[in-house]
Amino acid sequence: MSVAVRFPTVLRPATGGRATVAAEGATVGEVFGDLIRQHPDLKTQLLTDEGQLHRHLNVFLNDDDIRYLGKLDAKVGDSDTLTLMPAVAGGA
């Protein structure tokens, strides 16, 4: 499966400036693995040392947050798009 992965500006230095990268995989975790093979600098941006999704990263499979679809085990298909966005938070 080849899916399109969209990156926010803050992550583009790790993709050589590219906003969209095509990657292979049947699950989000496999797609992330392929992305990291293509762009090794993404590893620490996407995953924790334990291999889990960073909590300050939101990942959407088309319109849905993958946290509700099985996280890294969420299945992806050929015409799907993954959109990565930083979590935006703070406080007084």
Site residues (CB under 8 A) for other proteins?
A: 8-10, 56, 58, 60, 63, 65, 83, 85-92
Closest separation between CB of residue 47 and other proteins, Å? 17
Select 50 or 92, whichever has its Cβ closest to other proteins. 92
Beta strands at 57-61 and 64-65: parallel, antiparallel or unpaired: antiparallel
Select 37 or 56, whichever has its Cβ closest to other proteins. 56
Phi, psi of 77 (to 5 degrees): -125, 175
Closest separation between CB of residue 74 and other proteins, Å? 15
Residue 14 CB contacts under 8 Å (≥ 6 apart), including other chains: 39, 41, 42, 45
Tokens of 1: 């499966």
Closest separation between CB of residue 18 and other proteins, Å? 15
